[in-house]
Amino acid sequence: MTAFDPDRFEDKYEHYFTELQQAYKQAFEVMSGRHDSELIHAIDQQILAESEPFYAGDGEFRIELPDDAADRLVDQDRDRLESVLVAYKSELDTQLQSVFELDS
């Protein structure tokens, strides 16, 4: 694994593409075990595919979702969807910390 450098994270897809894929995959697997797998798959494909991770500092990441994230899954209960999105973003942060070995 490439050592994490916050400055290089600005060009994350050039320097950390494999690590990002790994973190997103691990978060998907964890969330699929905790929530309805159909919902998690829909979130993964229709929302997170266009999300953007940012390094926030102090070992923390921030996941920005598309502006219309909740509108993309119109057949879902909005409160439930937003609750699962919050949990998913938190899990992504956890997995990014783990992949980049910032979770100590």
pLDDT at 12 over 60: yes
Of the pLDDT bands very low, low, confident and very high (cuts 50, 70, 90), residue 2 is low
Return the pLDDT at 89: 95
Q: Cα 64 to the chain's mean position, in Å?
A: 9
Average pLDDT for 55-76: 89
Model pTM score: 0.89
Average pLDDT for 24-41: 95
- What residues contact 32, with CB distance under 8 A and at least 6 apart? 40, 41
91, 27 Cβ separation under 8 angstroms:
yes
